[in-house]
Structure 1
Amino acid sequence: MLPVYRGVRRSLNVVYLSQVVKRSASGLCSSLTYDEYGDPEKVIKLKEEVIPKPEGKQVLVRMLAATVNPADINTIQGVYAIKPPLPSIPGNEGVGEVIEVGSDVEGDIKPGCRVIPRLNAWGTWRTHALADYGDLIKIPSDIDLAMAATIAVNPGTAYRMLKDFVPLSTGDVVIQNGANSAVGQAVIQIASALGLRTVNVVRDRPGIDELKQKLKDIGATVVVTEGQLRKSEEVNSLPKPSLALNCVSGRSGTEVLRQLSSNGVMVTYGGMSRQPVTVPVGSLIFTNVSLKGFWMTRWNKEHYDHPKRQQMLNDLFELVSHNKLKPPEYSYVPLENYLEAIRNAMPKDGMLSKKQILVFGNGK
Structure 2
Amino acid sequence: MLTFHRLCVRTTFSARLLKTTGRTEHASGRHWSHSAGRCSPTCRALVYERHGEPTQVVQLKNMDLPPLGSKDVQVKILAAPVNPSDINMIQGTYAILPDLPAVGGNEGVAEVVEVGDRVTSVKVGDWVIPKDAGLGTWRTDAVLSEDDVVSLPNTIPLLSAATLGVNPCTAYRMLSDFEDLKAGDTVIQNAANSGVGQAVIQLAAARGVNTVNVIRDRPEFTHLSDRLKAMGATHVIKEEELRQPALKELFKTCPKPKLALNGVGGRSATELLRHLQRGGSMVTYGGMSKQPVTVPVSAPIFKDVKIRGFWVPQWKRAHSNDGAAFKAMLDDLCSLIKEGKLSAPACSQISFLDHSAALAAAMTPFTSTKQVLVM
Same fold (TM over 0.5): yes
C-alpha displacement of 1:347: 4.1
Matching residue's letter, 2:214: V
C-alpha displacement of 1:307: 1.3
Q: Is the 8 A contact 2:111 2:128 kept in 1?
A: yes
Structure 2 CA distance for aligned equivalents of residues 224 and 236 of structure 1: 15
C-alpha displacement of 1:119: 2.2
1:253 aligns to 2:269 (yes or no): yes
C-alpha displacement of 1:228: 1.7
Q: Is the 8 A contact 2:130 2:165 kept in 1?
A: no
SS of 2:102's partner is: coil
Residue of structure 2 equivalent to 1:7: none
Structure 1 CA distance for aligned equivalents of residues 134 and 46 of structure 2: 13
1:270 aligns to 2:286 (yes or no): yes
C-alpha displacement of 1:215: 1.0
Q: Is the 8 A contact 2:194 2:368 kept in 1?
A: no
Deviations 1:3-27 (A, max 9, x none): xxxxxxxxxxxxxxxxxxxxxxx96
Displaced runs of 4+ in structure 1, greater than 6 A? none
Structure 1 CA distance for aligned equivalents of residues 329 and 227 of structure 2: 26
| Unmatched 5+ stretches in structure 2 | 1-39
- Identify which range, 226-235 or 214-223, moves more after superposition: 226-235
Deviations 1:201-243 (A, max 9, x none): 1111112122211111110111111222342322343211110
Pairing partner for 2:370 from 341, 352, 355: 355
- Identify which range, 98-107 or 196-205, moves more after superposition: 98-107
Structure 1 CA distance for aligned equivalents of residues 306 and 63 of structure 2: 51
Residue of structure 2 equivalent to 1:75: 89
Pairing partner for 2:144 from 113, 118, 131: 131
Structure 2 CA distance for aligned equivalents of residues 119 and 284 of structure 1: 34
1:32 aligns to 2:46 (yes or no): yes
Q: Is the 8 A contact 2:265 2:289 kept in 1?
A: yes
Matching residue's letter, 2:267: R
Residue of structure 2 equivalent to 1:115: 128
Judged with a 3 Å threshold, the aligned counterparts in structure 2 of structure 1 residues 201 and 353 are, in CA distance, closer, same or farther, namely closer
Matching residue's letter, 2:90: I
C-alpha displacement of 1:43: 1.3
Matching residue's letter, 2:120: E
Residue of structure 2 equivalent to 1:344: 361
SS of 1:278's partner is: coil
- Identify which range, 242-251 or 301-310, moves more after superposition: 301-310
Identical positions, percent: 50
Q: Is the 8 A contact 1:88 1:123 kept in 2?
A: yes
Pairing partner for 1:279 from 283, 295, 301: 295
Pairing partner for 2:190 from 158, 177, 187: 177
Judged with a 3 Å threshold, the aligned counterparts in structure 2 of structure 1 residues 235 and 178 are, in CA distance, closer, same or farther, namely farther
SS of 1:83's partner is: strand
- Identify which range, 286-295 or 53-62, moves more after superposition: 53-62
C-alpha displacement of 1:194: 0.7
Q: How does 1:1-364 map to 2 (within 5 A)?
A: 28-107=42-121, 109-229=122-242, 230=244, 231-232=246-247, 233-304=249-320, 305-348=322-365, 351-360=366-375
Matching residue's letter, 1:354: T
Structure 2 CA distance for aligned equivalents of residues 352 and 291 of structure 1: 29
Structure 2 CA distance for aligned equivalents of residues 211 and 113 of structure 1: 36
Deviations 1:223-269 (A, max 9, x none): 11122234232234321111000001111111111000111100001
Q: Bigger relative contact order, structure 1 or 2, given CA contacts below 8 A and separation 6+?
A: 1
Matching residue's letter, 1:92: N
Residue of structure 2 equivalent to 1:23: none
Structure 1 CA distance for aligned equivalents of residues 313 and 364 of structure 2: 21
Deviations 1:47-103 (A, max 9, x none): 113454412111101100001101100000101111111111111100000001112
Q: CA RMSD in A?
A: 1.4
Q: TM-score, normalised by structure 2?
A: 0.86
Q: Is the 8 A contact 1:63 1:96 kept in 2?
A: yes
Judged with a 3 Å threshold, the aligned counterparts in structure 2 of structure 1 residues 174 and 57 are, in CA distance, closer, same or farther, namely same
C-alpha displacement of 1:188: 0.4
Q: Is the 8 A contact 2:193 2:368 kept in 1?
A: no
Q: Is the 8 A contact 2:109 2:162 kept in 1?
A: yes
- Count residues with an aligned counterpart: 332
SS of 1:358's partner is: strand
